[in-house]
Chains A and B, each alone.
Chain A
Amino acid sequence: MNLLKRGRLLALTFASIAVFGLVAACGDSNKEPAGPAGTAAPKLSGSILIDGSSTVFPITEAVAEEFKKVQSEVRITVGISGTGGGFTRFCNGETAISDASRPITQKEIDACAAKGIEYIELPVAYDALSIVVNTSNSFASCITVAQLKTMWDQPAQGTVTKWNQVNPAWPADGFKLYGPGTDSGTFDYFTEHVNGKAKQSRADYTASEDDNVLVTGVAGDKNALGYFGLAYLEENKTKIKAVQVDGGNGKCVEPNAANVENGTYPLSRPLFVYVKKTEASKPEVKAFVDFYLQNAAKLSSEVGYVKFPDRLYPLITSRWTALKVGTMYTPAPVAGTTLEQLLSKS
């Protein structure tokens, strides 16, 4: 057709590639000087591939950043495929560490076993799964778990669309829902604990594996309600508002560290990292996981999660140093078993 000015476009492309290359180069050289921060540890190198839950991502990312200050030569990439997506890659042997916002499932255990992949399960912090609304929402200050089920369970699809269908005291306006996608461990946890069956949920909501998309959605929609991990609430407190949750005893509980620690918040759960056993012998991976466990308490609070009681960390560390493979959740623990009991039993 001889219509496009190919030459010019080509030149433009090359120019932009050159510019990007330059910028990238500058970026690299700027980062370099962030050298050792006081430790005289041996210089390690290599790369660690991590993927999995976007809920656990903020902790792992924070640990990775701090670790880089000590070991600048170790390259760490942290993905956010969701817990399920992360385990698919992990059990396929693609990643060294998998972030998870729920324990590994039987299906995933079988997938890992089929590839001969053994793993060490390490709880790192508590999350409070948070229900959030737009800041201009003045009526939804407390919601019961039963009301959440009314709102989110499969039968609600297309039929429960107005606030007053959930709580008669609320207005007759339509609501819009924002929640994690089906690959997310947060989705698994929520559907199991609120709707009563894992993965059973209405589907007519804005779903994203990226919690920042959900924050943007709720922040810009006065009739929005969404759910995700506590860290994304803490980080965006000016943009969105938390809803207190009533577990059925008539008490409205705010999602925060104190209420998770004293066990009153009904939607709290532990977060995990899973380390591949064969990778654990690599010095850089060992150093990274050591570093992770030493700093999990401090960094998890910093990014908005809730640290375990201090007495739990030695139990987790000994689980790691003993390279104890397998999960604490199979066979399924008796209801009401605490994480501490699970850890000390194993």
Chain B
Amino acid sequence: MRIGYPRILMAMVLALSHLLFVITVERAVAETYDFKIDEFESKPFEWSGYAEVKYEHLNLDKESAFYGLNFYNDPRDTLNRSTGTMQLELGYKKGLAAFNTVLNARAAVDDLGGSDRADVFEAKLSLKPTPSVTVDLGKKVFKWGKGYAWNPVGFINRPKDPNNPEDSLEGYLGVGIDLIKSFSGPLQTLALTAVLLPVWTDVNGDFGKKDHVNFAAKLYLLYRDTDIDLMAFVGDSRSTRFGIDFSRNLATNFEIHAEYAYLTDLEQKYLTEAGLVATRRRSVSQYLLGLRYLTKNDITTIFEYYHNGAGFTKSELDRFYELVDDANQQFITTGSDNFFQSARTISRMGYSAPQAGRNYLYLKISQKEPFDILYFTPGIIGIFNIDDASYSLSPEMLYTGFTNWEIRVRYTYLGGSRFTEFKEKQNQHKAELRVRFFF
């Protein structure tokens, strides 16, 4: 749905400025202990949300494949982008029923123009006859899997951005049931989640092949202090797939997790050695091994290895980058963009996906409140393509000291040699400032 983005952006900026002023004044007021419980009593209708302003400055890499694809007819050195986002969460509960919805609207303006859209991320009616049973009808976000950056077993998840794995995502429409049973003994919890997910032209149309009703199920066990999930997906919108994951604390400060998924009969288009587009069908494995470790001085390390069996090999990615290189040569010498048009179409077959390759490492190191600076968390995120030795490095600083405000500054550097995944992205550097206000 299109809306007037300059007005939305202006309104957001004004609202944030006003709120920042109010917060600053509040902080100067004298402090006393006071707990008025009445204002926190449960109400049938509740709402909350956030407003966000983000500014990004990209230094474009004119030698890269995706720069060529995106800017061959509009050359430039930099790209500046401002984005405003508003998310509203509404909830109403009465008796055994509850209705919850998440609405998200965003508008972006960059050097090339603007865009805006508004989506219903979530809208579901939940019926809860007992604490053990919940029936959900409507649009719901699924986040299956134990991995932080990737979830091979997330059969009905939206793919998340490993650089921002905690960002909100849009859900899928469906009908689900959740059954829970607790026990005493080595098996403490058993829970079954089952979901019917239809795919029609106007319902979950981007999930897969249309006019099918799919079924996904997850069985969760807390067994001997270990979280274990078994998953399955059957239906004709996507191929049948099975998965398992687990998570366990080996010590109070050391957690390990893993996921394994087997995807049957996966259909994929790819570039052959002859430079032609072909389709292949195969069954593949995807898996992830990860850990989370906390040191005595509050440094958290998250480390994950991800094998993407459905990804392209290094030579398959090379072929795509060579195709774009040929397109660039053709454009320079003849002025024709025929190859660029073909390369754009092929890029949408998976070559432009965030992690299109086979093997990756993810590393995030962050320290909470170093040097006794409360609410300050500096960190660094690294994503490495093991097969072609390219990488993305993002140092960042997060400050949450102003109540309901979150300020994040991040810089990203993409490195590697020519014809490698991260080096062929459109930019080499990116600086980002994100300010979020929660209400």
Question: Are these two chains actual partners, yes or no?
Answer: no
Interface residues of A (CB under 8 A from B): none
Interface residues of B (CB under 8 A from A): none
